Amino acid sequence: MTRVSIGARLHAGFQNLSLARDRLYGGIGWAIDEPRLVVDVERAEELVCPDEAVEPYARRAIEVLDVPGAAITVEQRFERHAGLGSGTRLALATLMATADVYDVALDVRDRAPDLGRGGRSGVGIATVLDGGFVVDGGHLVERFTHSPPETGAWTTPPVVARHAIPDSWRFVLVTPDVETGKHGSDEDASMRSIVEGADPGIADEIAPLLTQRLLPAIAGGDRRTFGDAITRLGRLNGAWYADEQGGVYRPPAGRLIESLSSVSGVDGVGQSSWGPTVYAITGVETADIVREAAEDALTRNDVEGDVRVVAPDNEGYRLLDS
């Protein structure tokens, strides 16, 4: 049996969503140690996977690897479509564990598109493999199609920057109990609509924010500047998404972010992907204070939900044979 364990990821936004620039997308995000996905795989003569959420990924993994079958069990998981990257993690964990149990050589970046991953952001793939804070190079604009491309009709975006996140940093996650974030065909349709009408001027603001503030801050371990830049990045991305998600942030994320922004010890705030999870950037020394403030924010906004304090992940997936 092979076991793969992977932490979640946070997606802060994109560098460009306009067809008026050379490259499209260009994801920015980072890996976190929790919550985790744990998948066990054993050899089998056919696919044995009672989990409906995992079965399509498992079937495709078997086809891609050209193996007879696999018995797949999800031992630990986290919320799907909550802005934490569960889809890519389910797909890649299944692929990697199946390849390992059959001793099949695997280039994950090369095969990820065959499982439908990496068509926009490469952050999920990169953080599965190596953890850390990641910026990817996106896709050439000329490859954009106005209808969904065939699975695998793209390559995984290149990683143009990766930095380890200081061990003393913490992220307070707030996941309200509301409808899940956009995914599947709804997400595809929304993203195509956004790209077709995106203001290129926003990308022009993001470029110096990334190169002059965000990257130097993470390279130097400057949490305050990093958090300020991430907050600004999220607001700029939200201007692209406003028509599709009901505002700069998807409700009720905006109210929660506003509440957290003024809390002592919070260096930055944002919405991960389509939400509903929002995060506050802080340190070990202030994490408990921020956690309590997040719980209070849920109460004051009359929203049920979960709050957790998580550490960064600078390693990526863990593969265990037994």
Task: Supply φ then ψ for residue 177, to 5 degrees.
Answer: -80, 80
CATH number of the domain encompassing residue 48: 3.30.230.120
Q: pLDDT for 244-275, tens place per residue?
A: 998 999 999 999 999 999 999 999 999 999 99
Burial class of residue 153, CB neighbours in 10 A (0-12, 13-18, 19+): exposed
CB 200, CB 18: distance < 8 Å = yes
Task: Please list the residues that pair with 134 across neighbouring strands.
Answer: 29, 162
Q: How many domains does the chain have?
A: 1
Give me the phi and psi of 102, to 5 degrees please.
Answer: -105, 5
Per-residue pLDDT of the chain (322 residues; tens, 9 = 90+): 999 999 999 999 999 999 999 999 999 999 999 999 999 999 999 999 988 889 999 999 999 999 999 999 999 999 988 999 999 999 999 999 999 999 999 999 999 999 999 999 999 999 999 999 999 999 999 989 888 888 888 999 999 999 999 999 999 999 999 987 666 777 888 899 999 999 999 999 999 999 999 999 999 999 999 999 999 999 999 999 999 998 999 999 999 999 999 999 999 999 999 999 999 999 999 999 999 999 999 999 999 999 999 999 999 999 987 6
Do the beta carbons of residue 88 and residue 128 sit within 8 Å? Answer: yes
Angle between the N-to-C axes of helices 253-261 and 287-300, in degrees from 0 to 180, rounded to the nearest 10 = 140
Domain hosting residue 6, numbered range? 2-321
Predicted model pTM: 0.95
